[in-house]
Chains A and B, each alone.
Chain A
Amino acid sequence: MTNKTDAQQALTLGDRVQADRVHTSLYTDPAIFEQEMDKVFSSTWVWVAHASEIPEAGSYKNTYIGVQPVIVVRDRKQKVHVLLNRCRHRAATVCEGKKGKTNSFVCPYHGWSYSLDGALRGVPHPESYADQLEKGELGLVSLRVEEYAGMIFATMKNDIEPLVDYLGPAKKWMDLFMKQGAGYPIKVAGEHRFRFPGNWKIQLENTTDAYHFPLVHKSFLSSVDKQTEEMLDFVGGSGYVEDLGNGHSVMVMIPQLIDLEENLDAPIPARFAELAEQLRAEGHADQEVRRIVRAVGGSGFNLNIFPNVACSMAFFRVLQPISVNETEIHHAVITMDGGPQVANQARLRLHEHFQGPMGFGTPDDSEAWERVQKGASAGKDLWIMLNRGLAGEKPTPDGRASDVSAETGMRAAYQQWKKLMTA
């Protein structure tokens, strides 16, 4: 009788996600990554843009669904299209650059041209095709697109449920998150982009990981005022993590900042006293000042929307898988479109303070994740433990919840992963 290891037992994909742990191979196996691109990223709703990133007719943004390049574009009738960035002739990309504005997409290789909705408009020297080119069949491949609360999602799976059904209880949190416009429309005003040498799910987990905050972000906490440090001392506090279904989850760190339009009479935090003074000097009424200042500080929660986007306190966190051990992250800053300049400047400075390659937070996260990937190459039969807060997990109207530093959100994401990967 031999005592077989897990690996020798050739675990199925389903076996690799247990109720309280996941197998290390989910971070390290290139074959699993290949399957994820198909069974996860090509089989569900994937976030591609915020509406403010493509504000006008002809505005476009280049991004990826999994590892496939796509163009997100607004046509002349304001309809948003998500098109595979691949000429139907011989596959060259028809659009480059992160963002821009155009009237059409023209392939640089042989000049096939497409309209903003992806339809093939013309090909140079068509006579060689002897009128047999099926132009109607050769438009850029157009994906199904739906939008909620300004967040645009696309899917490669045409028969999937409507976006609003997929989001479910997450919609309520998206609505709450958008209140940080303080009555102005939310505008994405740039982003920090960085990569780390690790699997994409390590970042996915981190958005609902309160447990790491006081340790990994000690240097950030040392750089803020006492009041803010106390506000961010949420591990052990009354916050919670809730599984919202379909892999989505919310981590409420600061319960009093769930709804930014409530508690407007609460004292203005010391760090915003100067901003409040400036807003008053500009003629904003007291309630308006309070509303704007509260919005500038951001929401008290992180909403993880499976698989690739989060509404994280005051910014959008977007993850893009590159390979099994490389991931790109975008931290998009949010401003108030048409809002007071001093308030938007405050938001930009707060974002720079924590985020990005020179921020006081992001590089330390990135270092920790890199260490996870490195460590995961040891003990290939071992498991990633996700059982924190399991004992205290209780049903809620929207799903299940446990304490603020519970790994409930990670368990939720991996159960959705399992559902898609074993479908």
Chain B
Amino acid sequence: MNTELITQVAAFIWQEADMLDHGEYAQWLESWTPDGLYIVPIDPAQTDFANTLNYAYDNAEMREKRVARLGSGESISTSPVPRTVRDVSRFRVLSNDGTHVTVRCAQNLREFRKDVLKHYTADVSFELVRSGGSFLIRRKVVRLINSTDTLQGIGYIL
């Protein structure tokens, strides 16, 4: 087992998680390749995301718009801003060709807004591309374990 690689990808993914929990969206937007996709599917078994309905299917333009909306103060569902704390763990490298690394991990996120504490558990897959001494995200797929259930508004980035 390549523990050095696991340490590298975990450090990168923890950094991303920390950015999202602390609203460092400008830096988060720079963590992507230009063709990167942030996807939250409905059907956990789905692989053809482009041709199916998702909760989110964000290219660079949509990611920027999502970030702009969260910080705009124009949306009553994100004012007040939800507070989130997420744990990411159970990293497993699925493939690594020296340039691209595919890694799967578990994410447990707690959200608090107004008077409600919510809990979202997800399987998250990353396709990372080596860049400098670190990585860029080419694809992030967040498969909520209750994605087929009725959900309420999620006013932040999973």
The answer to whether A218 and B153 touch (CB under 8 A), given A344-B51, A358-B56, is: no
Residue of B nearest to A344 (CB): B51
| Docked complex Cα distance between A190 and B49 (Å) | 12
B-contacting 9-mer, from A73-81, A192-200, A299-307:
A192-200
| Docked complex Cα distance between A371 and B77 (Å) | 11
The answer to whether A357 and B52 touch (CB under 8 A), given A223-B65, A364-B75, A367-B77, is: no
Q: Write the nearest CB–CB distance from B14 to chain A, whole angstroms.
A: 23
Residues 288-330 of A contacting B (Cβ, < 8 Å): 328
- The interface size of chain A toward B, counting residues with CB under 8 Å, comes to 36
Question: Is residue A351 within 8 Å, beta carbon to beta carbon, of the partner chain?
Answer: yes
User: When the two chains form their complex, are residues B74 and A222 in contact, meaning their CB atoms are under 8 A apart?
Assistant: yes
In-complex Cβ contact of A366 among B40, B52, B153, B158 (8 A): B153
In-complex Cβ contact of A196 among B50, B53, B57, B152 (8 A): B152
Q: Kindly list chain A residues whose C-beta atoms are within 8 Å of the C-beta of B53.
A: 189-192, 333, 348, 351-352
Question: Is residue A362 within 8 Å, beta carbon to beta carbon, of the partner chain?
Answer: yes
Q: Kindly list chain B residues whose C-beta atoms are within 8 Å of the C-beta of A349.
A: 57
Question: Is residue A66 within 8 Å, beta carbon to beta carbon, of the partner chain?
Answer: no
| Docked complex Cα distance between A216 and B74 (Å) | 8
User: When the two chains form their complex, are residues A192 and B76 in contact, meaning their CB atoms are under 8 A apart?
Assistant: no
User: When the two chains form their complex, are residues B76 and A358 in contact, meaning their CB atoms are under 8 A apart?
Assistant: no
Question: Is residue A103 within 8 Å, beta carbon to beta carbon, of the partner chain?
Answer: no
The answer to whether A357 and B57 touch (CB under 8 A), given A328-B150, A363-B77, A364-B76, is: no
The answer to whether A219 and B75 touch (CB under 8 A), given A333-B53, A352-B54, is: yes
Residue of B nearest to A349 (CB): B57
Contact flags A350-376 to B (C-beta < 8 A → 1, else 0): 011100111010111011100100000
Q: Write the nearest CB–CB distance from B78 to chain A, whole angstroms.
A: 8
Q: Write the nearest CB–CB distance from B67 to chain A, whole angstroms.
A: 11
Q: Write the nearest CB–CB distance from B118 to chain A, whole angstroms.
A: 11
Question: Is residue A98 within 8 Å, beta carbon to beta carbon, of the partner chain?
Answer: yes
User: When the two chains form their complex, are residues B51 and A363 in contact, meaning their CB atoms are under 8 A apart?
Assistant: no
Question: Is residue B55 within 8 Å, beta carbon to beta carbon, of the partner chain?
Answer: yes
Q: Write the nearest CB–CB distance from B156 to chain A, whole angstroms.
A: 9
User: When the two chains form their complex, are residues B62 and A357 in contact, meaning their CB atoms are under 8 A apart?
Assistant: no
User: When the two chains form their complex, are residues A358 and B150 in contact, meaning their CB atoms are under 8 A apart?
Assistant: no
Q: Kindly list chain B residues whose C-beta atoms are within 8 Å of the C-beta of A223.
A: 65, 68-69
| Docked complex Cα distance between A351 and B55 (Å) | 9
The answer to whether A216 and B55 touch (CB under 8 A), given A194-B150, A357-B152, A363-B155, is: no
Residues 34-90 of B contacting A (Cβ, < 8 Å): 40, 42-43, 50-57, 62, 65-66, 68-69, 72, 74-78
User: When the two chains form their complex, are residues B55 and A363 in contact, meaning their CB atoms are under 8 A apart?
Assistant: no
Question: Is residue A345 within 8 Å, beta carbon to beta carbon, of the partner chain?
Answer: yes
| Docked complex Cα distance between A366 and B154 (Å) | 11
Residue of A nearest to B57 (CB): A352
Question: Is residue A341 within 8 Å, beta carbon to beta carbon, of the partner chain?
Answer: yes
Q: Kindly list chain B residues whose C-beta atoms are within 8 Å of the C-beta of A192.
A: 42, 53, 55
The answer to whether A363 and B154 touch (CB under 8 A), given A218-B75, A349-B57, is: yes
Q: Kindly list chain A residues whose C-beta atoms are within 8 Å of the C-beta of B155.
A: 363
Question: Is residue B148 within 8 Å, beta carbon to beta carbon, of the partner chain?
Answer: yes
Q: Kindly list chain A residues whose C-beta atoms are within 8 Å of the C-beta of B43.
A: 190
| Docked complex Cα distance between A364 and B77 (Å) | 5
Q: Kindly list chain A residues whose C-beta atoms are within 8 Å of the C-beta of B75.
A: 218-219, 360, 363-364
| Docked complex Cα distance between A122 and B93 (Å) | 52
Q: Write the nearest CB–CB distance from B62 to chain A, whole angstroms.
A: 7
Residues 115-139 of B contacting A (Cβ, < 8 Å): none
Listed A/B pairs (23) with beta-carbon separation below 8 Å: A189-B52, A190-B52, A193-B149, A194-B150, A195-B150, A195-B152, A216-B76, A219-B69, A220-B69, A333-B53, A348-B54, A352-B56, A357-B151, A357-B152, A357-B153, A358-B55, A358-B56, A358-B153, A360-B65, A363-B77, A363-B155, A366-B153, A371-B76
Q: Which A residues have a C-beta under 8 Å from some C-beta of B?
A: 98, 189-196, 216, 218-220, 222-223, 328, 333, 341, 344-345, 348-349, 351-353, 356-358, 360, 362-364, 366-368, 371
Instruction: Give 6 new A-B contacts, CB below 8 A, not counting A348-B54, A364-B75.
Output: A190-B42, A194-B150, A352-B54, A358-B40, A360-B66, A366-B77
Q: Which B residues have a C-beta under 8 Å from some C-beta of A?
A: 40, 42-43, 50-57, 62, 65-66, 68-69, 72, 74-78, 148-155, 158
- List the 4 closest A-B pairs by CB distance, nearest first: A363-B153, A190-B53, A363-B77, A219-B75
